[in-house]
Amino acid sequence: MAWNEPGSGGGKRDPWQGKPPQDIDAWLKRLRDGINRLFRGGGSGGGGFGGGSRGITLIVLAFVLGWLALDSWTVIDARQIGVVLRFGQFNRVMTSGLNLKWPAPVERVIRVDATTVKQVSDEVRMLTRDENIVLIDFNVQYQVTDAKKYLFDANQPDETLKQAAESAVRQVIGRSAMDTILSGHGSELVGETKKLLQSTLDSYGLGLLVTEINFQKILPPPEVKEAFDDANNAGNNQQQFVNEAQGYAAKVVPLARGEAARIRAAAEGYKAAQIATATGEAQRFALIDAQYRAAPEVTRKRLYLETMQDVMAANPKVIDTSAGKNMIYLPLDKLKSDLDAATAAAAASADDAKKNAKENSQ
């Protein structure tokens, strides 16, 4: 019978109100007789256990006081959250330290560890966006943030989190390509998975916080590993050839461009020289023509002398003073010029050899 029931007198009623004292004495006497029979094997004499109704009352009061003293308080550890149930229904949450409560079975305390990081691991096999099979081992670390939701808003919240984590991993990996998964974008996929999993847990109201998600292993299944390795090696070889071709192009193209620029500059110089020479020759011819028209004989003789001077200056000359006798001719100037030409050719060949060796070393 409850002590606090609706009614007169401020809502408090004594459960023994209206019962005469003799009824209490009779009840205590029956209790005493029962205890005597239990411990002494029968009989209902006045010399039984407790020595009378007063002794029984003291025993009952001592039992009640002990029960209240031992079960009316509890200590909650700093790492825990206490959830209080009153007659099996949620009532309140206890913080760390010493807390008072109604003794059992009125109130019961369930302790939930809120600081320990729990973890769950699983392995999933699935298809990527480009229809490749991938095997992923993932690990989820989480904590309890709301003890009430963790205990009462879901059945088996840890198993629910495991299934939600697998669903999030499948959703993120399923819309990503194999190259993206195996490349340096793994951290982005982990962050996206964590965000999606936390959103799912919040919608379920589990009172859990995801602290970390790790993709411990991302590999093709053993059945297709050999074919995957072959394809991966082919891709690596392709990339190697592309890099070598790009390196060769980076080396040859600047040289070709420089050589083209040099030839173009030489051609432009030759063009300018030829135009200037032709212009000068035309002007010179015009001047000579004017002079020839003014004095033809003098001009003709001067041109002849200038021409002979140019011809004779470019050829070796031998003066014969032997008066018809034998003469030994040694073309020393010709020999000297041939020697100089051979020396210059040898020096040019040596320079070309040094240049080629330097280019090959680079």
Judge residue 161's burial from the number of C-beta atoms within 10 Å of its C-beta, 0-12 exposed, 13-18 middle, 19 or more buried: buried
Q: What is the mean pLDDT of residues 50-59?
A: 63
Q: Are 142 and 121 in contact (CB under 8 A)?
A: no
Instruction: Work out the angle at residue 333's Cα, subtended by the Cα atoms of residues 330 and 335, and round it to the nearest 5 degrees.
Output: 75
- CB within 8 Å of 96: residues ≥ 6 apart: 76, 77, 78, 79, 80
**Of 185, 166, 183, the residue nearest 126 (C-alpha):** 166
> In this predicted model, what pLDDT tens digit does every residue of 275-318 receive, in sequence order?
999 999 999 889 888 888 888 888 888 888 888 888 888 776 77
If pLDDT is split at 50, 70 and 90, which confidence band does 337 have? confident
Q: Is the pLDDT of residue 8 over 50?
A: no
Cα–Cα distance for residue pair 246/239, rounded to 1 Å: 10
Give me 94's structure tokens: 């206890």
Stated pTM of the model: 0.46
Q: Label residues 83-116 b or e (16+ Cβ within 10 Å = b).
A: bbbeeeeeeeebeeeeeebeeeeebbbebbebee
Comparing 59-68, 247-256, 294-303, the range with the smallest average pLDDT is 59-68
Supply the pLDDT for residue 222: 74
pLDDT of 150-197, one tens digit each? Answer: 888 778 888 999 999 999 999 988 888 877 777 766 778 888 899 999
Provide DSSP, 129-180. TTS-EEEEEEEEEEEES-HHHHHHSSSSHHHHHHHHHHHHHHHHHHTS-HHH
Element (H, E) at 81: strand 80-86
Q: What is the pLDDT of residue 37?
A: 57
- Between the alpha carbon of residue 90 and those of residues 12, 94, 179, the distances in Å are 24, 12, 51
More confident residue, 120 or 154: 120
pLDDT, the chain, mean: 77
Domain boundaries, the chain: 21-70, 73-113, 118-219, 241-310
* Tokens linked to 225: 């590993």
Q: How far is 132 from 343, CA to CA, in rounded Å? A: 71
Count of residues making up the chain: 362
pLDDT band at 20 (very low <50, low <70, confident <90, very high): very low
CB 209 within 8 A of CB 142: yes
Task: Work out the pLDDT band at 274, boundaries 50, 70, 90.
Answer: very high
* Burial class of 3 by CB neighbour count within 10 A (0 to 12, 13 to 18, 19+): exposed
Q: Domain 118-219 classified CATH 3.40.50.300? A: no
pLDDT tens digit string along 190-233? 888 999 999 998 888 888 889 998 888 877 777 766 777 777 78
